[in-house]
């Protein structure tokens, strides 16, 4: 393949890639959406865990107080 043909192919490839970028190619949108979903689910999981620990701690204190009253 001669030099002119190689340069033509390279230019066409660059032009096609530039056109994809300018048009806003949607490649990878699913990955971004999945990542956002994972971050949201992780945040919700942490919040639920904190709420659960607070509730469990409060319930444990109440049970211990009631058991102590039974022993008196």
For 21-50, what is each residue's pLDDT tens digit? 666 666 667 788 888 999 999 999 999 999
Mean pLDDT, range 3-31, rounded to an integer? 67
Distances 65 to 29, 44, 52, 56, 72 between C-alpha atoms, Å: 54, 32, 20, 14, 11
For 61-71, what is each residue's pLDDT tens digit? 888 888 888 87
HSE at residue 59, side-chain half, CA atoms within 13 A, is 6
Q: What is the pTM of this model?
A: 0.49
What's the pLDDT band for 3 if we cut at 50, 70, 90?
low
Please tell me the predicted confidence (pLDDT) of residue 26. Answer: 67
Please tell me the predicted confidence (pLDDT) of residue 39. Answer: 93
| The residue to which tokens 């009253």 are assigned | 69
Distance (Å, whole) CA 53 – CA 46: 11
């Amino acid at each position: 393949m001669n030099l002119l043909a190689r340069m033509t192919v390279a230019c066409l490839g660059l032009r096609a890639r530039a056109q994809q970028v300018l048009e806003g190619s949607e490649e990878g949108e699913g990955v971004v959406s999945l990542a956002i979903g994972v971050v949201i689910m992780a945040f919700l999981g942490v919040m639920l865990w904190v709420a659960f620990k607070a509730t469990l701690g409060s319930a444990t204190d109440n049970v211990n107080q009631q058991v102590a009253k039974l022993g008196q």
